[in-house]
């Protein structure tokens, strides 16, 4: 059974935007629940904290995964099997987290890994495929730690407030990127483009800077620095900040549609 919840039904036709939230969950699938070495708090730490609350907005298409990214990462290619995150080898099934912790007491077999990919990864992308003919743009939404973890290319570096990714301008236009960059900068946030993250499988598989119906749409990745809205020691939200970023994303989508997808 798929672990990709359907979005809540709307009484109005959704606006032509798809929001992907691939790393919101910390669920451990039944196939490996007895073999995972990480604690519930550690699994929560490896989520994109509170992204479901921030990026789920009314009257758009939304696809969310609730499975932990360190168990099945839906933002990686389904045949990208990697045992470690070292040297940026971040696969769909991993054995080591980005800060060097072992995921499993006993690693899953290739048969179990394949079953989890079919059960949790494939349905996520099937849902996106079904929605793409009805939208004009995709936002792939994430959060990140304020300092690069030790096994990342930016290890030890302070990260900006917002990171916009477009896989080196292959998934959306320069105008799309400048619009999003200016939107956040005009509100006082520091912004980087394609660093530390340019985007992975969601953008690479589903998006192109020029729409190719019915298969591809333009899209970008948005990453928010978690220190702006959460206490990373307790993993609890800073009062009112989740709501502020939720409204900020609503404002971004509204302004983006007015600029690029006028009725």
Residue 10 has a pLDDT of 46
Residue 109: exposed, middle, or buried by beta-carbon count in 10 A (0-12, 13-18, 19+)?
exposed
Could you read off the pLDDT of 91-150 as tens digits, one per residue? Answer: 899 888 888 889 999 999 999 999 999 999 999 999 999 999 999 999 999 999 999 987
Boundaries of every domain in the chain? 15-29+46-67+121-260
Long-range contacts of 245-248 (CB under 8 A, 24+ apart): 245/54, 246/53, 246/54, 246/55, 246/57, 248/187
Nearest-5° angle of CA 249, CA 255, CA 261? 115
* Cis peptide bond N-terminal to 196, omega within 30: yes
Considering the domain 15-29+46-67+121-260 in this protein, what is its CATH number?
A: 3.40.630.40
**Residues near 13 by Cβ (< 8 Å), separated by ≥ 6?**
59
The candidate with the shortest Cα–Cα distance to 23, out of 223, 160, 247, 240, is 223
Q: Which of 9-18, 78-87, 150-159, 238-247 has the highest mean pLDDT?
A: 238-247
113 and 104 in contact (C-beta within 8 Å)?
no
CB neighbours of 112 closer than 8 A, spacing ≥ 6?
31, 32
pLDDT tens digits, one per residue of 190-201: 999 999 999 999
pLDDT at 81 over 80: no
Alpha helices in the chain (DSSP H): 40-45, 51-55, 110-116, 122-131, 174-185, 201-206, 241-260
Instruction: Give the pairing type, strands 60-64 and 162-165.
Output: unpaired
CA distance 221 to 167: 9
Q: What is the mean pLDDT of the chain?
A: 92
Please name the residues in contact with 182: beta carbons below 8 A apart, sequence gap of 6 or more.
none
d(CA 227, CA 140): 20
Token representation of residue 261 = 């997808």
d(C-alpha 159, C-alpha 163), whole Å: 8
Do β-strands 219-225 and 162-165 pair in parallel, antiparallel, or remain unpaired? Answer: antiparallel
Nearest to 80 by CA among 208, 201, 229: 201
Quick one: average pLDDT of 38-63? 97
Asked whether the predicted pLDDT for residue 245 surpasses 90, the reply is: yes
Question: Is the pLDDT confidence value at 39 over 80?
Answer: yes
pLDDT at 7 over 50: no
Residue 169, exposed/middle/buried by CB under 10 A (0-12, 13-18, 19+)?
middle
Structure tokens at 229: 């809205």
> In angstroms, rounded to a whole number, what is the distance separating the alpha carbons of residues 230 and 233?
9
Pairing of strands 191-193, 162-165: parallel
Give the pLDDT confidence score for residue 6 in this predicted structure. Answer: 54
């Amino acid at each position: 059974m798929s672990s990709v919840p359907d979005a809540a039904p709307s009484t109005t036709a959704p606006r032509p935007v798809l929001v992907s939230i691939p790393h919101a969950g910390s669920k451990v699938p039944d196939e490996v629940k007895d073999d995972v070495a990480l604690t519930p708090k550690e699994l929560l730490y490896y989520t994109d904290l509170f992204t479901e609350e921030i990026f789920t907005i009314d009257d758009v298409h939304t696809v969310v995964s609730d499975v932990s990214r360190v168990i099945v990462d839906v933002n990686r290619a389904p045949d990208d099997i990697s045992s470690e995150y070292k040297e940026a080898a971040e696969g769909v099934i991993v054995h080591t987290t980005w800060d060097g912790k072992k995921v499993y007491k006993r690693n899953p077999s290739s048969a179990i890994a394949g079953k989890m990919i079919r059960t949790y990864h494939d349905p996520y992308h099937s849902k996106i495929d079904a929605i793409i003919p009805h939208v004009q743009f995709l936002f792939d939404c994430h959060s990140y730690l304020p300092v690069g973890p030790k096994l990342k290319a930016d290890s030890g570096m302070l990260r900006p407030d917002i990171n916009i990714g477009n896989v080196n301008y292959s998934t959306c236009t320069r105008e799309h990127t400048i619009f999003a960059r200016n939107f956040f900068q005009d509100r006082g946030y520091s912004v980087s483009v394609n660093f530390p993250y340019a985007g992975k499988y969601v953008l690479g598989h589903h998006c192109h800077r020029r729409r190719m119906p019915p298969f591809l749409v333009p899209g970008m990745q948005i990453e928010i620095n978690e220190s702006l809205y959460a206490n990373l020691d307790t993993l609890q939200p800073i009062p009112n900040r989740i709501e502020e970023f939720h409204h900020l994303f609503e404002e971004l989508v509204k302004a983006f549609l007015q600029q690029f997808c006028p009725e």
